[in-house]
Structure formats: structure tokens, C-alpha cells
């Protein structure tokens, strides 16, 4: 792919395009506004796998009746510090947004809030929701279940968990919020695909074949590769990544009754819903210390970590979230890059579903 | 079962005897009787389930810390602030076990009423195995999370040369019905420092990705970590294999443990010895009641089902079935119930010497 072919668009245009698709798919306006805004935020922060690139995938899910884009969000249970929401089979964005808002309100009143969501689907980048809490001066935490069991437990030969992400955000004053948003696999499957496209060798510890054997030949991607749990190999602690992946599955599914990624026919067992689960926590630091002290300590920690002697002076030590903050700053000027393959796919899809096309 | 010395000079002692030995030394050091019983119980439990780095083998480092006056064994514990869902505890510079048991109990009691609770602890020190506290929460039917910062900042951030964070563990436990509780208790480093030391003791090389030399290059020589200013890697091991994720988790643990409590940061100059009588370590505990979300027993049934599915995963080697977190320790616990706890000769003579110096009874005979 030639870089010359990559066009750049301002965030407003990408958001408008995303919204046009979602509307054409039958999503109601209030859900569209929230969903398009969260998806475009991912594109702005360089999380290109979780923005407008998801549109063809969402179209497929809608066409196959795996999601209900106008599904009602219902509050199933509501207590002073906890709640359970039902996403009505919709894509996860509107319910997840509502859930974190409720967790924030509860944490402001009683110090803590945790809200679980069931009957949901893909909700984009987990870190969006934990960052919502940090904007309100709270610590935020988010997890989600996933749709494909491609991550292999320690000692196993086959996939049993998804990429099961964890997001954690802490408020600061001087620095940007600390924002960890990580899959509990060694790498995202997109990174393996990219190596395959470029014909490059895979680092040992990224991928496994269907017998659980380590693979470094990226051409094997065609035959279907699984991903390792963070740690990569038993010797380098993949039982820890596996443990974290199982923790995320428990938080996302056991509090909600959502379908496990290993459940037979997962994602397709009930028409109109993928039955994914999410979990959100907000914690209010002023219930522990005076206002501002939590942020002061966290800023000090970030300053201390920045002051670590770098191995390569041109690559200073960063903290979680800063790579995305830098991309966001850059893209505010350059716009969001749109590779030609994706643009062509979106143009074709716009024609098929009657959405207006803004990326010409 | 009786104590028995095997052909390698390893003493196999019942858990009760190990606990008695720990208690007699803590008492001789001046710890209050009610604190001694609880502390010895948590420490001996680590030995009982094979976490040998966090049981009786901690007495020599505690002795050193006591002599350097960075811990206060006869301290009082105070609740600084308390609300229906939260609390902050001041551990008064003592070992972390008793304040952490109090924090755990407060989390359980509050979560049973409010659905969720979190307690932070400051002015503390080493609290043993993190998973002990989360397993107590799971035994009470709650999901538990616990973290602590540490005292040996030997873990280098991704892209960095210097050790800045400790092994910063996180524990998570979830209740079950048919199975033992799911219990994850992990350092956010690739391996515990003790594993590097063991390779060094045996004159073996390290797997690449465990440690880095003082210039930040991956090294298979344990000596670079032991004596030449090398560092441990965050989980992931190398940048290629995602060490930025382990580094991110370690930082998360540091924030939970220190920013909520006001403890000293692992990154602070002279961390752990800035204040007479206190290492200023921080912990964080959180409990969630599943019955706030679903009917009683539904959460446990789901967790049991997940564990069944993971057990049913096709293993790489049929001899080694897929397990879930906590099961290796459960297996050791069952074994040691009949064999006793192994006390290697080096540790045994160290304990004997400590007992002699502090006029405590020596019962590992």
C-alpha cells in the first residue's frame, strides 16, 4: 500500500460518516450520536482497529441479525453502589456509556460504583469508558467479554478466551490521566495480520498454530493462528496473562450472566443479540484523602517514571496512555488517515446500504 | 505425621509447628499477642500452599528491618477515615498482616451492606501473599481484589534502564460452589526475584526476557541482576512481547496502593527507609457482592461453568491438563497436609540463629 494513497480527514467528517452508516443500519439518533463519537475518539487516538474500521463488521452483524441496533436499554437492578443494565442486544456503546455514567454518579454520592451490562455487543475501546471516570476526578475501570476464542490458556493447545481487555484510568493534575487499556493477549490479532501482509517473520511468542505449537512464519496466518496469553511462553509467564484473561471473563460474564466466549455457538445462540457482558467500576479518591492529594501522588509517580534513564535517549520512558495522547495531538492537525482499502470498502458499503458518502 | 529430616537435610514440619515457630519469634520481638496469632497464621498459610517466599522464610528479612528500625512491631492500628463503603487505615509502621486482615474484614462487612467496598492502608510494611486476603473475600461470597506496592524497586519500565517499581502484585479471587475459588495472585514482573536468585545459586543461565543488564539489554546472566545493577522485566519480558503491558499493570498497582493511601511511592528516593519506624508501604482492597447483580448462587454457577470449560481445553501435553489460577497452590496444599512443610537446611539454621538471638523457643527440631 502506498502512503500517497492514504487520505486524511478531519474528525468531524469521520464522525459524520460513521454516523451516516449507523443511521442507515437502523440505529436510532440518540444511540448514533454516542456511538459515532466514541468510535471517532478511537480513530483520533490511533486505535484504528476500534473506529470506523469496525463499520463493515457491524454491518455484517446487523445483516445477520446478531445485533438489535434499536434495542432498548433497561435498568434491571439499581442499588446505591451497583446496577445491572440490559443493552437490548444493541452494539455496546450506548449501554456502556450509560453504565459508566451511572457508576460515576454512584461514586460521587457513596464513594464507589460498579455497573454490569448484559445482552450487549462490541463496545469499542475499553479505555474510553475508564477515561470518562477520570474526567470526573474518579478512578475508572472497565472490562468486556469478546466474540472469538482465539487466545490460548497456559498449557493449552487451543483458544479458550478472547483478547479480554482491561482498562484503568487515574486522574492527575499536571500530566494527562494515566490510562492503561490493554488486551490480555501478547498482541492484538491485527498485528499478526499486518506482519502477514508485509511477509515479515513473527516474533516467537506471538502466535500458535491449531496444535498449540509456536509459529514464526506469518504465512501461516492464512491457516488460522491463535494468539498467546500475555507472557507468550510458559517460561515468560503466560500463566499470568491467562489468569488476567480469565479474570476479565469472570468480571464481564459472571456478574451479568453473559455468554462465555467458549460457550457453544457463542454470539449466535439467541437471535438479535451476541449476549456479551461488560463491567465498569468508578472509585472516588476524596473518600480516602483530601481533594487533590490522589492527583498529586499520581503526578509525582508519572514524573518519577518519566525521569527513568532511557535505554535509547531518543526514546524516553512513557506511561500508559501517552502514545495515544501524542497521536491525538498529531491527528488534531493532520486529520485521521484513511487507507485506500478501507475507503473503498466503505464507499462500496455506502452505496449498498444507502448511506451518504463523505469521504470522496 | 511427625517432623522428619530427609536425605537432603530438609526438615518436613507440620503447618502447626511452622506457625508456632513464627509466633514464638514474633512474640520475642515484642509484637502484641493478638497480632502475633493472626500474623503467624497468614505466614504459615503461605508455606502450606507452596508460596515459600512469603512464609517463614520472611523472618530473616523482617529481623533485618526490625534492627534497622524501619518497622514497628508493637504498633497500634488506627482507622483514619471511614464511610459506609470506604475506609483508610494507618498501620502505624507495623508489618502489614493485621491491618490488611482488618481492611479485608471491613471490605466484607461493608460490601455485604452496600454491595461494594474499598479500603486503603498506609504506613504499612510487607503483608505476605496478596492472595490470602482476596481468598477470604471469596470465602465470604464476594469478589475480591487486593494490591500492594513493594520495597525493592528493581523493575525497569519499558524503554528504561533503572529499576523503578517493585514486583507490585495484584490478586483477584471469585467465589465458586463446586470448584475451589478462582484465585489469581501474581507479581506484575515476568518472574519473582527469588527465581532469578535460584538460577544464580545453581549456576544456571536465565531464559532471555527475565532480566536486563544495567544498560537495559536483555541478559541471560543472573549475575547482572544479583550484583551488577541489572533489573527485572515487567510481565511480557521484552517490548516485542508486550512488556509495556506488564509495566502498565505495575503502575496501576502502584497507583491503587499509594495514591489512595498516601503511602511512599516505589519511585521515591530512599523509599522504604525515609521515616524511622515505618517503611510507608501502601495496600488497597476492594470487594464486590455478586448478589447485587444476580440471584444468589448464579455468579458461582457461572464461575464454576467457566472453570469447567477451561479445564476441558485441549492440553498441549495430555500429562499436564489445563488448570485455572489458584489450582497449583491447592494441589501443593493437599500434598503438604500429609508431607508437612519442607524447611531447607540453610533456612533452618537462619531461623535457629534468630531464635537464639531473640530468646525465642526453637521448635524446628
Residue pLDDT, tens place only, A98-108: 999 999 999 99
Q: Distance between CA B74 and CA B77 in Å, rounded?
A: 10
Secondary structure, 3-state, chain A: CCHHHCEEECHHHHHHHHHHHHHHCCCCHHHHHHHHHHHHHHHHCCCHHHCHHHHHHHHHHHHCCCCCCCCCCEEEEECCCEEEEECCCCCCHHHHHHHHHHHHHHHHHHCEEEEEEEEECCCCCHHHHHHHHHHCCCEEEEEECCCCCCEECCCECCCCECCCCEEEEECCCCCCCEEEEECCECCCHHHHHHHHHHCCCCCCCCEECCCCCEECCHHHHHHCCEEEECCCCCCCCHHHHHHHHHHHHHHHHHCCCCCCCCCCCCCCCECCECCEEEEEEEECHHHCCCCCHHHHHHHHHHHHHHCCCECCCCCCCCCCCHHHHHHHHHHHHHCEEECHHHHHHHHHHHHHHCCCCCCC
Assign B182 to helix, strand or coil. strand
pLDDT of residue A242: 98
Select the residue from A254, A265, A284, A293 to test the B interface by mutation, using most B Cβ atoms within 10 A.
A254
Out of A156, A182, A281, whose CB is closest to B322? A156
* E strands present in B34-142: 78-82, 86-90, 116-124
Q: Is the ipTM of this complex over 0.95?
A: yes
Contact A288 B248 (CB under 8 A): no
Average pLDDT over residues A288-298: 98
From A84's Cα to the closest Cα of chain B, the distance in A is 6
Contact A328, B180 (CB under 8 A): no
Confidence of residue A2 (pLDDT cuts 50, 70, 90): very low
Name residues of chain B where pLDDT drops below 70: 1-2
B293/A255 CB distance under 8 A: yes
Lowest mean pLDDT: which of A2-16, A156-170, B97-111? A2-16
pLDDT of residue A299: 98
Residues of B with CB below 8 A from A318's CB? 158-159
Kindly state the cell numbers that stand for B3.
517432623
Outline where A46-144 has alpha helix (H): 55-63, 93-110, 126-135
**Mean pLDDT, rounded, of chain A:** 96
- Chain B partners of A257 at a C-beta cutoff of 8 Å? 294, 298, 302
Mean pLDDT over A32-52 rounds to 96
Closest residue in B to A116 (Cα) is B293
Cβ contacts of B256 on chain A, cutoff 8 Å: 139
How many residues are recorded in chain B?
365
| Phi, then psi, of A209 in degrees rounded to 5 | -85, -175
Nearest residue in chain B measured CA to CA from A209: B316
Judge whether A255 and A279 are in contact, CB under 8 Å: yes
Q: What is the mean pLDDT of residues A186-209?
A: 88
pLDDT of A194 strictly over 60: yes
CA distance B118 to chain A (A): 8
Residue B306 and residue A254: Cβ atoms within 8 Å?
A: yes
Q: A339: which 3 cell numbers? A: 487507507
Q: A3 falls in which pLDDT band (50, 70, 90)?
A: low
- The alpha-carbon gap from A353 to the nearest alpha carbon of chain B, in Å, equals 39
Nearest Cβ partner of A308 from B162, B237, B293? Answer: B162
Note the Cα A62 to chain centre separation in Å: 20
Query: Residue A243 and residue B325: Cβ atoms within 8 Å?
Result: yes
Q: Determine the average pLDDT of the residues in A268-281.
A: 97
Question: Chain A window 12-31: which residues touch B at a Cβ cutoff of 8 Å?
Answer: none
> Residue A155 CB: number of other CB atoms within 10 A?
18
Q: Supply the pLDDT for residue B4.
A: 85
CB contact under 8 A, B260 and A288: yes
Residue A330 neighbours by CB under 8 Å, 6+ apart: none
Cβ of B314 and A84 within 8 Å? no
Question: pLDDT exceeding 70 applies to what percent of chain A?
Answer: 99
| pLDDT tens string B15-54 | 999 999 999 999 999 999 999 999 999 999 999 999 999 9
Judging contacts by C-beta atoms under 8 Å, the chain B residues touching residue A205 are 240-241
CA torsion through residues B268, B273, B276, B277, sign: positive
Residue A88 has pLDDT above 80, yes or no: yes
Query: What's B189's DSSP letter?
Result: B
Asked whether the beta carbons of residue B309 and residue A246 sit closer than 8 angstroms, the reply is: no
Beta-carbon contacts of residue B157 (< 8 Å; ≥ 6 apart) = A305, A308, A317, B164, B165, B234, B247
Q: Supply the pLDDT for residue A4.
A: 58
Q: Which residue of A has its CA nearest to B84?
A: A110
Distance CA B206, CA B210 (A): 7
Report whether A106 contacts A80 (CB < 8 A).
Answer: yes
B255 closest CB neighbour out of A81, A170, A230: A170
Look at A157 and B162 and tell me if their CB atoms are within 8 Å.
no
Q: Is A168 on the interface with B (CB under 8 A)?
A: yes
Upper half-sphere CA count for residue A264 (Cβ side, 13 Å) = 1
Amino acid at each position: 500500500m502506498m502512503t500517497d494513497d492514504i487520505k486524511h480527514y478531519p474528525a468531524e467528517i469521520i464522525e459524520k460518516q460513521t454516523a451516516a452508516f449507523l443511521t442507515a443500519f437502523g440505529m436510532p439518533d440518540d444511540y448514533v450520536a454516542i456511538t459515532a463519537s466514541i468510535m471517532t475518539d478511537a480513530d483520533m487516538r490511533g486505535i484504528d482497529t476500534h473506529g470506523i474500521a469496525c463499520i463493515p463488521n457491524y454491518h455484517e452483524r446487523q445483516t445477520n441479525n446478531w445485533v438489535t441496533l434499536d434495542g432498548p436499554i433497561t435498568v434491571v437492578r439499581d442499588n446505591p453502589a451497583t446496577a445491572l443494565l440490559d443493552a437490548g442486544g444493541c452494539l455496546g456503546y450506548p449501554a456502556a456509556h450509560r453504565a459508566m455514567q451511572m457508576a460515576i454518579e454512584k461514586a460521587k454520592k457513596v464513594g464507589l460504583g460498579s455497573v454490569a451490562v448484559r445482552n450487549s455487543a462490541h463496545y469499542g475501546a475499553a479505555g474510553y469508558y475508564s477515561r470518562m471516570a477520570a474526567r470526573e476526578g474518579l478512578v475508572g475501570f472497565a472490562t468486556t467479554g469478546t466474540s472469538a476464542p482465539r487466545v490460548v490458556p497456559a498449557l493449552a493447545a487451543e483458544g479458550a478466551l478472547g483478547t479480554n481487555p482491561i482498562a484503568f484510568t487515574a486522574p492527575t493534575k499536571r500530566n494527562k490521566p494515566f490510562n492503561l487499556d490493554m488486551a490480555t493477549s501478547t498482541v492484538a490479532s491485527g498485528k499478526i495480520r499486518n506482519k502477514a501482509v508485509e511477509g515479515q517473520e513473527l516474533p516467537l511468542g506471538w502466535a500458535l498454530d491449531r496444535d498449540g505449537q509456536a509459529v514464526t512464519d506469518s504465512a501461516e496466518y492464512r491457516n488460522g493462528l491463535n494468539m498467546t496469553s500475555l507472557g507468550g511462553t510458559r517460561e515468560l509467564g503466560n500463566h499470568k496473562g491467562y489468569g488476567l484473561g480469565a479474570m476479565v471473563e469472570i468480571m464481564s460474564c459472571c456478574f451479568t450472566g453473559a455468554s462465555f466466549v467458549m460457550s457453544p455457538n457463542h454470539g449466535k445462540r439467541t437471535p438479535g443479540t451476541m449476549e456479551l457482558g461488560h463491567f465498569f467500576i468508578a472509585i472516588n479518591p476524596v473518600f480516602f484523602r483530601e481533594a487533590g492529594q490522589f492527583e498529586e501522588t499520581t503526578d509525582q509517580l508519572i514524573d518519577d517514571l518519566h525521569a527513568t534513564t532511557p535505554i535509547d535517549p531518543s526514546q524516553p520512558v512513557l506511561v500508559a496512555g501517552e502514545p495515544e495522547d501524542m497521536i491525538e495531538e498529531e491527528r488534531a492537525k493532520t486529520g485521521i488517515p484513511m487507507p485506500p482499502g478501507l475507503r473503498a470498502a466503505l464507499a462500496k458499503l455506502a452505496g449498498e446500504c444507502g448511506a451518504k458518502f463523505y469521504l470522496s | 505425621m511427625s517432623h522428619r529430616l530427609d536425605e537432603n537435610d530438609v526438615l518436613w514440619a507440620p503447618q502447626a509447628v511452622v506457625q508456632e515457630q513464627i509466633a514464638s519469634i514474633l512474640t520475642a520481638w515484642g509484637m502484641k499477642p493478638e497480632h502475633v496469632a493472626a500474623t503467624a497464621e497468614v505466614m504459615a498459610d503461605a508455606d502450606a500452599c507452596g508460596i515459600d517466599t512469603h512464609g517463614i522464610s520472611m523472618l530473616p528479612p523482617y529481623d533485618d528491618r526490625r534492627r534497622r528500625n524501619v518497622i514497628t512491631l508493637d504498633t497500634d492500628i488506627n482507622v483514619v477515615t471511614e464511610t459506609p463503603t470506604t475506609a483508610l487505615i494507618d498501620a502505624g509502621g507495623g508489618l502489614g498482616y493485621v491491618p490488611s486482615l482488618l481492611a479485608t474484614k471491613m471490605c466484607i462487612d461493608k460490601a455485604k451492606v452496600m454491595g461494594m467496598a474499598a479500603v486503603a492502608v498506609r504506613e504499612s510494611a510487607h503483608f505476605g501473599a496478596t492472595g490470602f486476603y482476596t481468598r477470604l473475600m471469596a470465602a465470604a461470597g464476594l469478589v475480591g481484589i487486593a494490591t500492594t506496592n513493594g520495597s525493592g524497586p528493581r523493575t525497569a519500565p519499558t524503554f528504561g534502564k533503572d529499576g523503578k517499581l517493585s514486583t507490585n502484585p495484584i490478586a483477584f479471587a471469585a467465589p465458586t460452589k463446586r470448584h475451589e475459588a478462582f484465585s489469581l495472585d501474581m507479581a506484575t514482573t515476568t518472574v519473582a526475584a527469588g527465581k532469578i536468585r535460584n538460577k544464580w545459586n545453581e549456576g544456571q543461565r536465565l531464559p532471555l526476557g527475565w532480566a536486563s543488564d544495567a544498560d537495559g539489554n536483555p541478559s541471560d546472566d543472573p549475575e547482572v541482576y544479583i550484583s551488577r545493577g541489572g533489573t527485572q522485566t515487567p510481565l511480557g519480558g521484552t517490548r516485542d512481547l508486550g512488556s509495556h503491558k506488564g509495566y502498565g499493570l505495575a503502575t496501576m498497582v502502584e497507583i491503587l496502593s499509594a495514591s489512595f493511601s498516601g503511602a511512599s511511592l516505589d519511585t521515591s528516593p530512599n523509599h522504604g527507609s525515609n521515616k524511622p519506624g515505618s517503611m510507608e508501604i501502601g495496600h488497597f482492597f476492594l470487594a464486590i457482592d455478586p448478589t447485587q447483580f444476580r440471584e444468589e448462587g448464579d455468579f458461582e454457577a457461572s464461575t464454576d461453568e467457566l472453570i469447567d470449560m477451561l479445564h476441558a481445553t485441549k492440553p498441549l501435553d495430555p500429562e499436564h491438563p489445563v488448570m485455572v489460577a489458584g489450582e497449583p497452590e491447592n494441589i501443593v496444599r493437599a500434598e503438604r497436609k500429609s508431607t508437612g512443610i519442607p524447611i531447607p537446611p540453610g533456612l533452618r539454621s537462619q531461623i535457629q540463629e534468630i531464635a537464639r538471638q531473640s530468646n525465642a523457643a526453637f521448635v524446628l527440631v
